Amino acid sequence: MIDERPKKALIVGVSGQDGAYLAQFLLSKGYEVYGTSRDAQTSSFRNLLRLGIRDRVQAESMAPNDFRSVLQTIAKVEPDELYNLAGQSSVGLSFQQPVETLESISIGTLNFLEVIRFLERPIRFYNAGSSECFGDTGGAAADEMTPFRPRSPYAVAKAAAFWEVANYREAYGLFVCSGILFNHESPLRPERFVTRKIVASACRIAGGSEETLSLGNIAIARDWGWAPEYVEAMWLMLQQDQADDFVIATGQTHTLEEFTAAVFSSLGLDWREHVVTNASLFRPTDITVNRGNPGKAREKLGWLARHKMPDVVKMMVAEQQKGV
């Protein structure tokens, strides 16, 4: 007899950019979607409201770094797929909160893996890895075989979580995998992320504000993609016959200066008239150039980034102008 019930997905970190877009994507696939917050009764779930899907996502309270909380939630929901998108997500903030960053990412991931092993249920698990784990690659495009050389507390934590996942896959035969995602942006990013900070400031200036935008090192280069496309790659990883890890990227790199120039240019402005460099915004250690090689994802998942940096800029600016 064929089981015709809809698949259940549990998204940890459903309030964030990726969690909200993933919830939207899975709902379009007919999934029953659950999302967690540390306190679901007080959380605003602002991004779910913004996408118009709040009433279709069933909220649960869960603390990822509390094993008992994780066990109770997973046992209650009984998900087919579990997406771990939680944890402190800012590289810059991780230098100020290294303990919170390490604990929220590495201990949370370990709890999910151990609960899946303990319950002995065929739960497929996606872990949000990060391109930050690669560190500086000398400008070479990083793929799944590139060694990790993390250069921030955030990257150290993500590297630890990646190896936890790999260990549980090999030791216990669990269907668990990590997506090593390069930078992916959207209007749902909070303004503490530099891309949204630039877009929001430029739109205000275009609207008559006389503010000056302060940025850190604008010589850094990043591989910027479009977040709604990247959540589709997460889902594709859990539909494979075998669990594996994948780099998800556009394969193109642009400097922060180029990103800034593109934003201001789209608004008819010269960025050099409105931007200053502030040394206090430089990180203690940073990655000069990050570039991804998504060849394996293209070959095995059939996934390819359709939008590159110039497209991302246009879409983010257009959305920002609606709210300015």
If you write DSSP's letter for every residue of 255-306 in order, what string do you get? EHHHHHHHHHHHTT--GGGTEEE-GGGS-SS--SB--B--HHIIIII-----
The yes-or-no answer on residue 28 being catalytic is no
Q: Using alpha carbons, select from 7, 3, 17, 8 the residue that is nearest to residue 189.
A: 17
Annotated catalytic residue, options 32, 60, 81, 132: 132
The yes-or-no answer on residue 154 being catalytic is yes
Whole-Å CA distances, 130 to 2, 150, 156, 223, 239: 37, 10, 10, 12, 21
Annotated catalytic residue, options 89, 130, 186, 201: 130
Annotated catalytic residue, options 21, 154, 168, 230: 154
Q: Please list, residue by residue across 272-290, b when 16 or more beta carbons sit within 10 angstroms of its beta carbon and e when fewer do.
A: eebbeeeeeeeeeebbebb
**Pairing mode of beta strands 124-128, 176-181:** parallel
The yes-or-no answer on residue 126 being catalytic is no
Active site residue ranges: 130, 132, 154
